[in-house]
A and B are shown apart, each in its own frame.
Chain A
Amino acid sequence: ETGVTQSPTHLIKTRGQQVTLRCSSQSGHNTVSWYQQALGQGPQFIFQYYREEENGRGNFPPRFSGLQFPNYSSELNVNALELDDSALYLCASSHEGVPNYGYTFGSGTRLTVV
């Protein structure tokens, strides 16, 4: 059973640029969610994808968008990067429909905006 894999592990971008982060879900999981963890804080929910559609969103602007592919892998796209977007971005996969399902997190992508 494979875990959740995120790429890249580290990234440095300039303010105003666009970035794409990638996540491969754990085998058998059909749902992926993304979290932003700023330095010294707990993770904050960005959005969730189920069956290739966004089915939940946190308090993040539209320049944060995503995709889920038929193999349940996912991308997080951020446009017009701001300095405050610097954070650890975590992907979590789970299986909707399984009672009391859990979440498996990846190791994250550390994004630095300069």
Chain B
Amino acid sequence: AQSVTQLDSHVSVSEGTPVLLRCNYSSSYSPSLFWYVQHPNKGLQLLLKYTSAATLVKGINGFEAEFKKSETSFHLTKPSAHMSDAAEYFCVVRKRDGYNKLIFGAGTRLAVHP
């Protein structure tokens, strides 16, 4: 069965410092993994996706994630946080079982302080 676990429910950083949001996945085969961001009272926006090509994936707004099969991890990073990065972040795996549904983690709320 496929699943994702987001290791932190809340992360707080200062503006200009690095961001690390952690995600571990469980999958019996090479997964398709995504990171989505949700700003308050908004829908979901795709940050980046991994689909078995390069293990280091670059996304929008300076975010990137590295797929590490040996650690079953797909952590999201950004070198320097901006106030506008404050939002809820979801790590997502696509389940392949004849149809392709997305399985979401519980989310990590990122707070950015001046």
Contacts and interface: CB of A to CB of B under 8 A. Distances in A.
B103 interface: yes
B106 to A, nearest CB: 5
A33 interface: yes
Interface stretch (A14-22, A65-73, A79-87, A101-109): A101-109
B43 A56 contact: no
Nearest to B103: A45
A8 to B, nearest CB: 14
Most buried by B among A42, A92, A100, A106: A42
Chain A binding surface, main DSSP class: strand
Given A41-B107, A42-B90, A42-B107, A103 B102 contact: yes
B46 interface: yes
Chain B binding surface, main DSSP class: strand
Interface in A30-78: 33, 35, 41-45, 48, 50, 55-56, 58
A104 B36 CA distance: 11
B101 A42 contact: no
Contacts of A100: 32, 49, 51
Contacts of B34: 102-103
Interface of A: 4, 6, 33, 35, 41-45, 48, 50, 55-56, 58, 90, 92, 94, 96, 100, 102-108, 110
